[in-house]
Structure 1
Amino acid sequence: MAGPQLEAGFTRIANELLEAAYRFKFSASQLSIILMIWRFTYGFSRKEHEMSVSFIAQHTGLHTSQIKKELSFLIDAQVILVIKESTRTSSRVIGINKKYEQWVVQERGVMTVEHGDLFGGGSGFDTTLGGSNPDTTGGSEIDTTGGSEIAPYIKKDLKESIKEIIYKRFEQFWSYYPKKVGKKDALRHFTRLHKEKGFSFDDFVTGTKNYVAYCQKINRILKDGSSFVNQETYKEFLDMSVHGTGAEIGPAPMAPSNTKAARNKSLLQQKLEEAQRIGSDADHSASRRGFDGLPVNAGTDERTD
């Protein structure tokens, strides 16, 4: 039997774009989705196509929950473009963004920075991810807001680099923060913080770690990730003298349970203590009256009639 032949069909794709796909750090599932989208877009000489989650699952063999997760990432990272949102009668129309320089994904061999886990409690933090702290507000380090001194194409590259740095920082925060709720909104709020004058990612790391440790210490329920970033809660925990020093923060105590079994156990414990108290009083009384129930003269062995 002959192997695959071009005559049976082929997908026409620029080598530059194909090379970008294997140069960026995609997971196996993400790469499967990308290749599948190319197959049903470029493979049919079109740039986008209507694709449902079940359609992608059918052709990749991935579970629908995994597909939803990876699609969300690829869309946020600007790898997949949503041309038209889904409706009640049609699926979402999507395509691959061929401008791979806009992909917010780590590229092998480019901007590779050796640094510890920002939230892992190491000896120090690399809060710049391999460069000066990005100034997105028009400061002196990197100005992307205007001015004729910088050529437009350079300003665009700077903006893309800053965006990638922000996304990488966010991913580090999100992988650390325990209550991962509202990722999309959290990223939006996180990006907004970087545009605020005076924002320090170093402070954000410190405040986040202190907040998580403090909540564990006093058994407080953590805020959703989105709410934590939006409300800028980290600022309240930069000075731990208000809440207790970092050195005082240790493992969280056992949480008091409010279950029915716990309440019954507490009630039983109270009854047991009460019975022990009554028993103790009875023993004391018996010691005064003797084992036969007759009173005993204190300090003598004589019984009264």
Structure 2
Amino acid sequence: MKRVLILTVLIAGMLSSVVFGETVVVDDHFDDGAIGSNTTGVGEGFNVVAGLVNSTVTEADSKVTLNGPTHGGSRCSITSKDGAVLGGVLSRFEFLGVRFAVGNTGTGATARNCIGVKQGNDAWDFDDGLPTGFWVQFENTSLTTADGSGGWNGTSVLFYEANDNTKTVLATWTFNTLNWNTGTQNLTPILDIILDLGPDGYELTIEGDTVTLLSGSLSGSFPEGFTNEVTEGCATAYIQSENPGINISIDRIIITEGVTSGPYDPTPEDGEPTAGEVFDLNTADVTLGWKGGKDPQDVYPIDPAIHGYYIYLLKLTDFLNIDLCGDQ
């Protein structure tokens, strides 16, 4: 399995600061004409279930399209052949350039379109049950019910599906522009959807449209008593819908393992426009301090009042050395 180790460099004042190692597990632009391979990117491509009531999965024009042309019985899915480790590190799943288009005009009440992160790399069919994983369902919440039945209701949801079919809803919202439920249909927004999954929490970022949060939170800690049963998270997408039937196209899917979340709250407690102690660039280094994020292992819990993390920035004409210090 081909993986790429990258170095992420945080930039401050045009100078390099901190370098973290991340592993790109999947980076598929869907540009080699075959969904089952990925000759131009990272990873081995995607597994597919298609052909159910004329459904198709195609790769063309640098995107993958899941098409359900007949009615709510038309259904198909893709799942990445490679996945990221979950449980001990922060892993990121990016679905970029997500587009929606009408695929059929069936008159029934089936609406199960979703993307997500599932256990294992097998492609799947809802008739065999919803796999264990984290799911984003668009414009409907039917997958949070026992049997997944029900037509469009205009509410989208992020939830976790357990091995025993228990559902844990993390957030619900409505899109402010994207709409195919009632009123004026608007399929013009193109979304970037990024889901971060860590040992203790999650963060869902949606770009391309604004949302109105209805319940829960798009980022936070998992509920008390929550157990994540996904050990290898693979990116997946599924369509099965009607009235109207909606196709999903995706420009690019990226899976990154070992993501390091950035610092927060860079404003000093004294309110001054500098952080830490500032020296004359002609005579000394410049010190920049900030509060660190939560330790992912909870081995060294951060107390912002006493813990400091500092970056030393040299003059632009000097050779760059990186030095981290502080209480740990």
Common fold by TM > 0.5: no
Please, what TM-score do these two structures have when normalized by structure 2?
0.21
Q: Whose strand proportion is higher, 1 or 2?
A: 2
Select the structure with the greater relative contact order (CA < 8 A; seq sep ≥ 6).
2
Please, what TM-score do these two structures have when normalized by structure 1?
0.22
* Structure index of larger Rg: 1
Q: Whose helix proportion is higher, 1 or 2?
A: 1
